[in-house]
Amino acid sequence: MLGLKPFITFNGNCEEALHYYKNTLDGAIPSLMYFEEGPIDVPEEYKKKVMYAEFNFGDSSFMASDRNPESPYTEGNNISLSFGTTDLETTEKWFAGLAKEGSVLMNLQDTFWGARFGMVADKYGINWMFNCEM
């Protein structure tokens, strides 16, 4: 198991926010990938938006992205908890458990970055992401 991290989704201004946090919190952006670098077909004006980023500061870190242009954005609902795991059996068990009385936002599936990934909202409306490294 690798642990749990917050994942913040922005409404098109992720890179601006990351640089603001970098300067304000004396942080670092060790990883940043744009939508144009992935397999998702997005409108031209969205290709330079952030598909995935990592942000580190002090002993803390979080992950971030701009929303997928086909997904709605609701301020206040833009933070998920993301499990990073290496155990597929546990990942599937936890995913199914949270989905049981909640709703599946994205089924667990193999990804282009070499992980099994899925998203679920639990019965309390908390958004969870699962990223099992394969």
Residues 81-116: tens digit of each pLDDT: 998 999 999 999 999 999 999 999 999 999 999 999
- What are the structural domains of the chain? 1-73 (3.30.720.100), 77-134 (3.10.180.10)
Q: Please tell me whether the overall predicted TM-score, pTM, comes out greater than 0.85 for this model.
A: no
The pLDDT score that the predictor gives to residue 25 is 92
Which own/partner contact pairs does 123-129 have at CB distance under 8 Å and 24+ positions apart? 125/77, 126/81, 127/77, 127/79, 127/80, 127/81, 128/80, 128/81, 128/82, 128/83, 128/95, 128/98, 129/7, 129/80, 129/81, 129/82, 129/83
